[in-house]
Amino acid sequence: MLPYQRRVADERADLALKVANLEAFINPTNGVFLSLLETEQNNLTTQLGVLKEYLTILNRRINAWLN
């Protein structure tokens, strides 16, 4: 793997962890999340969607290198 590809793979791993952590926080059973203002809940939900889209893009890039 080339150095820039290694950096993208590392970035993907870091991002996947952030997505997993945010998904766990947004879980409907999380009292902390439910205690937030609705606008903050909406912002976090939107943030999760954007992070997932970014993760999808990184996955596509990495998969293209492997083919």
C-alpha distances in Å from residue 42, one per residue of 10, 11, 36, 46, 64:
29, 25, 10, 6, 33
Full domain range(s) for residue 55:
3-66
38, HSE (Cβ side, Cα atoms, 13 Å): 0
pLDDT per position in the chain (67 positions), as tens? Answer: 899 999 999 999 999 999 999 999 999 899 999 999 999 999 999 999 999 999 999 999 999 999 8
Q: Given the structure tokens 């150095």, which residue do they identify?
A: 3
Of 59, 51, 54, nearest to 18 by C-alpha is 51
pTM of the predicted model as reported, rounded to 2 decimal places: 0.91
Q: How many structural domains is the chain composed of?
A: 1
